[in-house]
Every structure is written in structure tokens, then in C-alpha cells.
Structure 1
């Protein structure tokens, strides 16, 4: 066969092949327009990617919003946060890149980063911890690690605790404590009994161990495990640790049922320490200071808890009713131990009725505290009503030195203002 004939045949074959490919491509394009050209293919992939990625917006007022987060729609922060748990780890990573690129001044940035890292931590906690290193704010970085570790502690506590044993060994004590606490908080959400026992066996200092145990108790009670938490605490053999844990238990319990918590404290008899009673009162007073005061009145008059707990009651009660709180405080037996409650009341009363507040200040037993409190009341009083303050000085039995001290008193922040009416009849008698 001649060489020219062979070349001609190859040429015809090549042209036929190219023609067939072109016709086939056009037919495929007609049935699937999205695959027409490489540019069209890229546009199609970009459109798909926008179903879960952030789109950079051109309008300045929209620059800080994550738009086209889902299906091309602009969502509010709360809507975004609700959708994040539905994302895959890969989608979360891509959105995390966008969130990290947001302006640091955007208040939504830190929360979005936290939630996205928590979502990644559901399946890849170590990867989430590594990604968190991209956060340049130390405060936000610490917050993100805590969020990640809580997720890890909930899903795989054994692995998280094993990691912490080496990874946190050289961390500063405060940072280490907060991260361990996060792990145990997550652990307690799925198995509080095991978390409690694990924390008991930890070779840690007493302060950190108590913090971890308290965190477990709080999570357990919040999730309806009050009886189990109470039993676990009662079985602790170390008396000091048991008392501290009982304080944690009672504080959490009193948030939703202070009366039942009070019955538990009473049932302990002599085992109920003054600190335990004060923990109960401090929490109870936030919701009902009058009821807390009535319970405190039921204790023996010489109970050491009364002096400290009364200050907690007064601190809360004066926010709502100065007159009622003054009447109750005046019913208590005067003592040096009650100075703290009197000072607390005086701070609140000074802004409402400085004349009566001064009477209370004069009743403080400790000389140094009495002088200090009278100065603070005087500073507020002369700002409010110079004439009546001068009348007080003229009618008082103060020494010349004391008078000069009060006249020169300056308001360094001043006594705190309280709500409600003034105490009417003035302070307690001495």
C-alpha cells in the first residue's frame, strides 16, 4: 500500500472521530446543560457549594452577614445556630473558614466559631482542637476549647480524660481546671454516676477535685437526677469533702425547691454546718427573702449561721423593700456578728433615706467599720440635702474631730441605692 494512501486513511479516520465526538458532546449538552463547558461546570459546582457556604457580599451594610448560608437565604444568627447541628464535618469546616474571616468587631463571630467547632468535635474532637488554634483572641480560643472538650467529654469521656492527662499536664492551673471541668460537665450529661466516681478517684488537689465533683452534681440535678446526686454525696467518706459537696447540692436544689432543700438541711441535724445553712439562705433569698428570713428565725438564737446568713437576706431584700428588711433586721438581737448585715442594709438605705442610714451606721459595733460607714453615708447625704446634713451635725453629739471627718467625707462611688421606701422609724437601737 502506498504511503499517501495510508496517510489519507488516517486523516479521514481522525476527522470522522472528531466529528462523532462533537455530535455526541452536543447531544449530551442538550440532555445535561450543566456540563456544557469547563466554565459552566465550575459555575454549577459553585452554585452547589453556595447551598452551605457563605457568600461574600458586595454591599457594605451587608458585609458582616453570613448570606446564602442555606439555599441562598440570609439567616439571622439564631437561625444559623439552629441549622449548624445538621451540617457535616466538611460543611462545618468550610463555614468555619468564613466565620474566622469575619471582622473581629462582629459580635456574632465568636459564637458562630464556637458552635461550628463544637459541631466538628462531634466526630473529630482532635481536629476541632487543632482548628481552634486559628483563633487569635486568647479569650475566644479558651472558650472554644472548653466547648470542644465538653462535646468530647459527652461522647467519649475515656478518650477525653486520657488526652487531658498528658495534653494539659503543663497548662496553667486555671486553664487546666476550666478544661477538665468542661470534660466532666460533658461526661455528667450522659453518665453522671460514673463521672462522679471518676472524679473521686482523680489524683488532683482538693480544690480542683471539689470543683469537678460540684460540676457533675450540678449537671446531674439539672437533668432530674437529684435523688441520685444526694445519695452519691451522702456516701462520700471524707467529712470535709462531704460538707462542701452538700453545699453545692443544696445551692442547686434551692434554685427550684428551697423548702425541700431546707428540710434536707434540717434532717442532717448536727451535721448541717453554718456554711451549709448559709448556702441555702443565699440561694433562697434570691427568690424569696421573706421566706428565707422566716426559716432563719426558726433556728436557735445562738446558731452561728444567723449572723452570716442575715447579710445574704438583707442584700437581696433591700433591692425590693427597705422598710420590711429594716423591720426584720431590727428584730434580731444586736451583736458584733450582725455588723455585716447592718453594713449591707446601710449601703442600700443611704441613697433612699440618708438620715435613717446614718442611724444604722452609728449602731455598727466595730469602731473602724462604724467610722468608715458613717463617712460614706455623710458623703451621699450632703450631696442630696446639704441643709438637713448640717442640721444633723449640729444636733449630734459628735466630737469636733468626728464632725470634721464627716464634713470632709467624699463619695467614692457612694453607698448603693436601694429600691422601695425608706425604713421609716430609722435604725436599730443599741
Structure 2
């Protein structure tokens, strides 16, 4: 839809942008980690693949393994109630493997639960496999038992990966079986990467090999990082290969920040370099933002560092938005600076919209600030749609302005229909845009949570 009569706001130095007059408030975010390594039922392939690939790189999956602490000599004698609770715990010396696994399944303490599964599976072999599988049959082959099955398949792959893969195909189908098989390949590649690679490259695995490669590369990199890197860099593909570079980066990062950053800088393919930079910035920007900022500063004007700058802005602004915004404001103009400022303003506006608005008012208007204005207007619209609309109108890029007006207008309409109905006839918006604003889509549960 095209604007009809909206007049452009002043866009020079000292432009008076709309002020945001709301009480100071703090919005607490809720982080939910969704997705899963295994899916036991058929789902839409594109959405499942995207979610799984993103989780593989962005979050990773670490086993929660602990040990049961013994009672110190100085501790008081446990009560009868404590003793009853202790009786439910997994015994330290259980001869019956089946009993150990069944008790582990009923354990609600995650430390004890995963420690018990790890203990039971550390000596998995042909002789006790049938007994172990009998107990696993009682657990659904899905996300809720992802960690337990990952341990089983990794251990099984150490001596019989082919049968482990066949087991995955019996317990699941389609993408679910594919993700489970990737777990087998991780264990297989940690022992014999060349045989695992040969299996992945079989003709019948075409298509699913993109999923299988995630397990293959993860296991291979843990054994031989250089060989795994050569394999990844030899592949043809798009986003999935970039995500494999992210796995390599995570492995290099275990050798230290300096080694990891030197390795990332040494990559010659820009798409691989971008993936490595992005992976490192996700890993370090929240806990060590200043260290990451110092490293990225020398790359601020490079295209391969844009996503890393975006990551740095998002994570640094969660703890110190003013330090983050000052850092990005001092960078040379360019896409890296633009994306960093946008990310900081997006979070800052949720925590302190007044301070973020004042900072924007002090900046010289221009296209490089449009992205920040858009995210600020969107954030403000959840509390004050009228003020947010003024910010949306001040965006100079027509396409971005239009999309922001639509989003802000719909949010405002959800909050205060009568005020929007009064404003729309005088807004200068096209009839088409007005109709869209009057019909905002219903938000799902996840959208409502993620906007807090």
C-alpha cells in the first residue's frame, strides 16, 4: 500500500522527533528454548529442519551429568522422612542393569537421572544391549527424552552403528528418524569418521544427508578437527554448510578465544567467515561483550561481520545498553554500525523507552537510523500506540516506513480501537492500509511471550 498524503517529518540535524511520555517501566523477558534433536512423529519438513538446524548451532545440547553427593561426616543423622526419600534414589551399586535403568526413569532429580543413565550406558555392549533396549521401549521416542536417547545412540554407535540406525527407523519415521540417525552418526564419527562419512554418502541417503552431516561433523570434529574442516569446506550448499562451519567454530573455541578468533580470521570464503564470526559473537557477547567488541572493531566495516555486530548488540544491551550504544555510535558508518544500533535500541526500548527515545532524538536523522526507529516504534507500540505511530512516520525509507506503520497501527488497534478509528480518516493513509490496520491478525502464544 502506498502513502497518499503523509508529510515527511523534518530530517535534518536536531530534528524534533516525537517524544515518548510514559512512566519508566521494566519489561522482563522470558526465554524459552524450543525445538529438539529428535522428533518421533511426522511434521512439516521445512519447519522441522529449520528449527533443528538452528538449535544445533545457536544453542547446542549439553548433557546434564552429575554425581550424587555423600553426606558429610558432620551432617546430622537423616530423619525417617529423609531416609524414605533416600530409598527412592538410585543405589550406587546396582548389579541389575534393568533395575538401574527403570529407577533412573522414575528419578525426578535431573542430576541423578542423567548420571544414572550415563552410568548404565557407559559399558553398553552386545551382551547387555537387549536388556537396555527393553527398558527404553517404555520411554517415548521424542523430544521429552532427547538426552536419554542421545546417550543410548551415541554409546550404541561405538560398536554397532548400523543396527542403531535401523532401530531409529523402527521407532520413528521421516524427519524424526533422520534426526535420531544424526545422533548415531555423532557417536560413529567420533570412533570411525571415514566409515560414517561413507555411509552418509550412500545414494539412498540423498536428501537426508544434510541432516546426517550435523551428527557426522560434530563427532568428527571432536576427534579430528582438521579433517572435519576439510570435509565441510569441500561441500556445496547454502545455509546448512554455514551452520556446519558453526559446529567447527564451537570446537575451535574450546582451544581458547585467541585461537578461535585467529581461525575465524583465516577463513577465505566470506560465507564461512561470516558463519564463524557469528558463532563466536553468540558464544561470547553476553558474558564478555567488551572483549568481543574489541575484536570486532577492526572488522566493523566488513560484510562478514554484520551478523556478528547484530549479535553483539542484542546480547550486550541485555546487561548494559548505554555502554553498547556508545560503542556502536563511535564505529565508522556502515551496515555493521546500523545493525548494532538497531539491536541495542530494540532491547533498550523494552527496558527504558524514555532513555532510548532521548538518545534517538539526539541523533542526526537519516537512512542509517531508520532500522533503529522501526524497532523502537514497534517496542513502544505495545504501551503507547499513538506515540509509536509518530516514530513510525518519521522513518525516511518508504518501504520500511510502510511496514512499520502497518505493524504499529495493528498493535495500536488491538489496544485502543476507538482512538485509531478517530485517527485513521485524518492519517493520509491509503484505504488499503487503513483496512489492514483495522484487521490485525491474532497473536499466538509464542508471539505474545516473545514481545515482552
Alignment TM-score > 0.5, same fold = yes
The aligned counterpart of 1:405 is: 434
Seen in structure 2, the aligned counterparts of structure 1 residues 281 and 107 have a Cα distance that, compared at 3 Å, is closer
The aligned counterpart of 1:280 is: 309
- Structure-1 separation of matches of 2:436 and 2:226: 62
The aligned counterpart of 2:75 is: none
Q: Is 1:94 aligned to residue 131 of structure 2? A: yes
- Structure-2 separation of matches of 1:281 and 1:400: 32
The aligned counterpart of 2:205 is: 171
Preserved CA contact (<8 Å) 1:285 1:317: no
Q: Whose helix fraction is larger, Structure 1's or Structure 2's?
A: 1
The aligned counterpart of 1:150 is: 186
Correspondence for 2:344 among 305, 313, 328:
313
- Structure-2 separation of matches of 1:217 and 1:97: 38
Seen in structure 2, the aligned counterparts of structure 1 residues 406 and 339 have a Cα distance that, compared at 3 Å, is farther
Seen in structure 2, the aligned counterparts of structure 1 residues 181 and 93 have a Cα distance that, compared at 3 Å, is same
Correspondence for 1:114 among 144, 147, 150:
150
Seen in structure 2, the aligned counterparts of structure 1 residues 231 and 310 have a Cα distance that, compared at 3 Å, is closer
Correspondence for 1:53 among 98, 101, 107:
98
Q: Is 1:82 aligned to residue 115 of structure 2? A: yes
User: Which runs of no fewer than 5 residues in structure 2 stay unpaired?
Assistant: 1-93
Preserved CA contact (<8 Å) 2:102 2:135: no
* 1:26-425 alignment runs, 5 A limit: 51-53=96-98, 67-68=102-103, 74-76=106-108, 78=110, 79-86=112-119, 87=121, 88-89=124-125, 90-102=127-139, 108-109=144-145, 111-165=147-201, 167=202, 169-173=203-207, 175-200=208-233, 202-205=234-237, 207-221=239-253, 223-238=254-269, 241-268=272-299, 272-288=301-317, 289-300=321-332, 302-385=333-416, 388-389=419-420, 398-399=427-428, 405=434, 409-413=438-442
Tell me the secondary structure at the aligned position of residue 214 of structure 2.
helix
Preserved CA contact (<8 Å) 2:232 2:245: yes
Preserved CA contact (<8 Å) 1:318 1:418: no
Determine which structure has greater relative contact order: mean sequence separation of CA pairs < 8 Å that are 6+ residues apart, divided by chain length: 2
Tell me the secondary structure at the aligned position of residue 264 of structure 1.
helix
> Please, what is the CA RMSD of the aligned residues?
3.7
- Structure-2 separation of matches of 1:338 and 1:391: 30
After superposition, give the CA deviation of every residue in 1:353-378 in whole Å (9 maximum; x if it has no partner).
12211111221224454345434434
Q: How does the TM-score come out when normalised to structure 2?
A: 0.64
Preserved CA contact (<8 Å) 2:299 2:305: no
Deviation at 1:147, TM superposition (A): 1.5
Q: How does the TM-score come out when normalised to structure 1?
A: 0.67
Deviation at 1:102, TM superposition (A): 4.2
- Structure-1 separation of matches of 2:256 and 2:277: 15
Deviation at 1:216, TM superposition (A): 0.7
Structure with larger Rg: 1
Preserved CA contact (<8 Å) 1:261 1:280: no
Preserved CA contact (<8 Å) 1:243 1:276: yes
Preserved CA contact (<8 Å) 2:271 2:304: no
Deviation at 1:297, TM superposition (A): 0.6
User: Which runs of no fewer than 5 residues in structure 1 stay unpaired?
Assistant: 1-48, 56-65, 421-430
Seen in structure 2, the aligned counterparts of structure 1 residues 85 and 364 have a Cα distance that, compared at 3 Å, is same
